[in-house]
Structures are given as C-alpha cells and as structure tokens.
Structure 1
C-alpha cells in the first residue's frame, strides 16, 4: 500500500505494548495529508487507507485529529510511541507529537478508554466459560490483555496526562489473559476496580481538549500541501 504525504507513522499494537509473541502480526499506524486542492472537489479523498501484509492503517490528518480529540486510544498511542518505533517522522509529524497533551480532555479520555474496555469485557462475557476451541481461547486471552491494558493506560493518562505505551510486566498481562480465557467472569473484578478508580481519582487533564491547537496544526498542514495548478 503506497500512500503519499505520510507525516508520521510507526509500529503500534502488541509489539509496542511488549505483548507480542512469536507469530504476532506487526501493526502500523500513521497520519497522511491529502493534497489541499483535492479537498475542494466534488469527490473528496479517502479518509483512511487500510492494508494487510503488512497490517497498516493510515488516517488523513483531519480524521486523525477528530479521533484524537475524541480520546480514541488507538489514535492517541501514535503520538506517544518510543522513538525507536517511529518509521516516518517529518517536521509536521514532530509538531503533532508536540501538541499531544493539548488534544486531551478528562471527560473524553475517561469515556473512550472505559468505553473500549467495557466493549472488550462484553465480548469476553458473551463467550462464557473456557470450553471452546484453542484458537478462540487465544483470541479471548488477547481481548483480555487489551482490556487490562486499556484500563491501566486510560487511568494513567487521566490522572497524570502522560501515556506509557509499553506495559511494565508483560507476564502479568499474559497470565491475566489465560485466566480470563478459562473463565470470562475473572475479568469483572478488574473492570470494576478501574471503574471505581476513575470515579475516585482527580484528573490532571482539563475538562475538554484544546481544539484550537489541532485546528492550527491542521491549517499548517493544508498550507504546506497546497499546490495550485500551474505552480
């Protein structure tokens, strides 16, 4: 998959979290800029490009900003990666990393991270006990690990304004995944703990994100990729 004007991209997912195992897919996420003049035509460009081999998702700059301002966990991790996991970094990409804290709002972070974690729990709950094929048990364990990660990272972001991508103890996450794969109800105490923690802890974030920072960055992107015909 070839997409022009990639501003920032890197390796995300299990590899970034430190939860990958032999045979795990390597996931990539990035932001690209559509040519500015293409945004004014009858048919606007695609906002996302998704490809496999390798697994890659690229969002157009405006869409990525909307996702990030909404607290989307997957979008947000792109601007908190360790340096060695970035594969494309441009000056505009570095600017985006530089405004990452401005994109955070307490209400949206709490709703997004707890919301995604709750979705994972409902998937697990629907599968019942551990009497299932090995491949389904593996997917269940994976969803359980993501549930735990979303809860931990969301609370960290909510209370400190910082996001650590790599988990501190990968083995703890794998053990939790196996427990939940055997009995989905084992995930309920963890989710309940984090629901209570979000309610009790004070957030380091403002109530709402600073949309003006994203708007100013996006306008710089549009100016940079404005190529009037004939010039």
Structure 2
C-alpha cells in the first residue's frame, strides 16, 4: 500500500492506555489510479488484528471524514509524536482538517456513536466483573465522544489527548455501574450542540475534491509515488 498518513490512535492517543492495552493504528493509502478503470474497484479498506491496524483508501477516508466519523477524523488531529508515516500529501490533508468539518456531521456522528455506547451499556449484565470491565470501556468512550463533540462544536478544534484521563476513567466506571448517569451527560451535550458554534454548516467539499485529484495525479502509474 502507498500509505499517505498513519499514526497511533485509540486509548494511547487519548491518554487512557494502561500496561497491556492494545495499540491501535489508523492510516490512509492511495490505490494506483489505473485500478479505478477496470471492472472492479480497488480495495477500499484493509483491516488487520494482533496488532489492530486499519487503513482506508483516500476516497473512502474522505467520505467518512466528511460525514464526521470520529475515529477517522482523529487521524488528522493527532499530536505530532503519534504519527508514524507523514508524506507531503498527508501533510496537505492535515492542513485541510478544519475544512472537513461541519456542525451537523459532528453533532449527528459523535452523538450517534455515544448513544450506541449507551445502548451497549444498557444491554449488559453488570453483575459479572469481566462484563463490568467491558462496560467501563464503553462508558469511557461515551464520555470522551461527548466531550470531544462539545469542544469541537464550540471551538472548531478536536482535542485528542484528554486533559484529565483519570476523571474520564472514574466517570466511566460510575456510568458502567449505573448507565442512567449518562442520560444527563447526553442531554447537556445535545443542548450545547444545538446552539451556534464555531463550525460551518457544510464542509468544504471542493477543497477535499481538489486534494483527492492531486492524489490521483500523483499515482497515475505504478512507478509513481506521493
């Protein structure tokens, strides 16, 4: 794969990792342009486990980012030390990160993911220690997603590294034991996200399209690279 940008994401990036935690990696790659002219489209995603690694083809990554996908979006907001591959085209994409955002996509996607985490919590048997530990992980993600969404909406900046990971961990454990505690958190987030914020109503698709066309021109033949 011609990887344009990749880095360490997940609990390590958030500051929630502990000894033994998985190290998750996310990246985007460019398929050779000529592969888009055959009967079958090139592979859009590559997922591997042990260790966990996910790469999305450039066009798919852009579509997911424009839709506000939290996991995909964080790739262009990582602290610099967490990047493992940075090419000139990858740096260009980082430079476009604000243009990928929109108020509606952030609201719908981040709160949608947080609500999914709450549903998972509500459906778990919390009497088993192992199950409770898993529930705590979902609860931490819920808290993180809600706080990131509100901050992103109000400031236009996505902060990956949590300011107080232990507070998020402790709150996650309380929510895991009593999922109803999350309802107030979500309600407050909905209220704040419904107010005017720093994000535009629509992303700058033209700028993203221009970047993607530069990617395609840079990979017209197998011998060329970004």
The structure 2 residue matched to 1:208, chosen from 180, 188, 202, is: 202
Decide whether the 8 Å contact of 2:27 with 2:55 is kept in 1: yes
In 1, the alpha carbon distance for the partners of 2:158 and 2:172 equals 22
In 2, the alpha carbon distance for the partners of 1:178 and 1:10 equals 28
Q: Which runs of 4+ in 1 moved over 4 A?
A: none
1:219 aligned onto 2:219: no
In 2, the alpha carbon distance for the partners of 1:116 and 1:98 equals 26
Aligned to 1:54: 51
Q: Secondary structure at the match of 2:31?
A: coil
Decide whether the 8 Å contact of 2:124 with 2:131 is kept in 1: no
Question: Aligned residue pairs: how many?
Answer: 223
Aligned to 2:111: 114
Aligned to 1:137: 132
The structure 1 residue matched to 2:29, chosen from 9, 28, 32, is: 32
Question: In the superposition, relative to structure 1, how do residues 180 and 228 fare at CA in structure 2: closer, same or farther (>3 Å)?
Answer: closer
Decide whether the 8 Å contact of 1:127 with 1:184 is kept in 2: no
Aligned to 1:178: 173
Deviations 1:129-163 (A, max 9, x none): x32x2221111001100001000101111111111
- Give the C-alpha shift of residue 45 in structure 1: 1.2
Aligned to 1:153: 148
Q: CA RMSD in A?
A: 1.3
Q: Secondary structure at the match of 1:184?
A: coil
- Give the C-alpha shift of residue 181 in structure 1: 2.1
Decide whether the 8 Å contact of 2:32 with 2:222 is kept in 1: no
In 1, the alpha carbon distance for the partners of 2:53 and 2:25 equals 5
Q: Secondary structure at the match of 1:188?
A: helix
In 2, the alpha carbon distance for the partners of 1:45 and 1:135 equals 40
1:195 aligned onto 2:203: no
Deviations 1:67-99 (A, max 9, x none): 000011111000000000000000000000001
Deviations 1:96-121 (A, max 9, x none): 00011111111111111111111111
Decide whether the 8 Å contact of 1:68 with 1:75 is kept in 2: yes
Unaligned runs of 5+ in 1: none
Unaligned runs of 5+ in 2: none
- Give the C-alpha shift of residue 43 in structure 1: 1.4
